[in-house]
Amino acid sequence: MKALEEAFQDAKRRFVYQPLARSAKLDRYRTVPFDIVVKTFSDHRMAFDPNDFMGRTLMDQGHWQRDDLDWVVERLGSGPRGRVFLDVGAHVGTQSVYALIGGAFDRAIAIEPMTDNIETIRLNALLNDLPITVVPSAAGAEAGRLPFNPDPQNSGGGSLHHSLRGQRGADIEVEVERVDTILDRLAVEPAEIGLVWIDVEGFERQVLAGMPALLEARVPLFIEVLDHLYSPDDFAALKRLLGNYRCAVTRDGSTELQTVRHFSGDILFL
């Protein structure tokens, strides 16, 4: 049995990993100026920085919020819906990869402003042979450029929120586009989007303000709402933007949106 396992591992090295390492498509990533590893999980490969918060979680738990995505897909059911997964604040593309390898969606659009993360999303798409369209910008209410504050301990924790600017070191300027403009450019209709996944560290209201066509179509939204960054006026504006949605659903059940005074955490809006 041991000899069989050794032969199997040798075959993997010879016919999978060595050809992959020699791939011309991957050659340009050999000089990428940041530290990443490529780890093989049960049904996919993932490139990531093992030293930051998300990377350590991936190494420890074997996934990054994949259980949340599985729960959302189960909650959406098998009825007719769009087959495009829209990943806003995509980080290194974990959710886009999970959405596609699970078969719930046919393609993904990943919106991400950080250069290192953008390159890692492209690498993850290549490693898993997945149709992920990468949009190298942030999403917001208006097109332009805004200061973005990276988190040195968490490559997915950077934010455009005004209260965090300059808090964790020097800001950088990033391009900002409206989601509706991005979809128009890609010739993607709201009806083609099956789920919008938003993780933008306090910039949720501005992202939603830039996607009125999707809100009007009531495309399902899964949003990490960081309520501690919201003023009462900001929170009221967020609720108005979500006014067409029936409910806010969490793992604990569902709450009619009209009766919610405040909500926080990871929430599915239908």
CATH number at residue 169: 3.40.50.150
Q: Which residue has the higher pLDDT, 136 or 17?
A: 136
In a domain, 19, yes or no: no
The two structure tokens encoding residue 183 = 């979809």
pLDDT band at 154 (very low <50, low <70, confident <90, very high): low
Residue 158 has pLDDT above 70, yes or no: no
Number of domains in the chain: 1
* Per-residue pLDDT tens digits for 97-139: 999 998 999 999 999 998 889 999 999 999 999 999 999 999 9
In a domain, 206, yes or no: yes
Maximum alpha-carbon separation in the chain: 67
**Of 79, 252, 61, nearest in space to 263 by CA:** 252
First to last CA, the chain: 51
- The number of C-alpha atoms within 13 Å of 230 and in the hemisphere containing its C-beta is 22
Give the E-state strand segments of 18-92 in sequence order.
37-40, 45-48, 84-88
| Enclosing domain of residue 65 | 32-269
Q: Percentages helix, strand, coil for the chain, rounded to the nearest 5?
A: 40, 25, 35
Q: How many residues does the chain have?
A: 270
* Per-residue pLDDT tens digits for 223-266: 988 777 788 888 888 888 998 887 788 777 666 665 555 677 88
- Residue 197: CB partners within 8 Å, gap ≥ 6? 69, 85, 86, 87, 88, 95, 99, 222
* Per-residue pLDDT tens digits for 164-205: 555 656 677 899 999 999 999 999 999 999 999 999 988 899
In a domain, 239, yes or no: yes
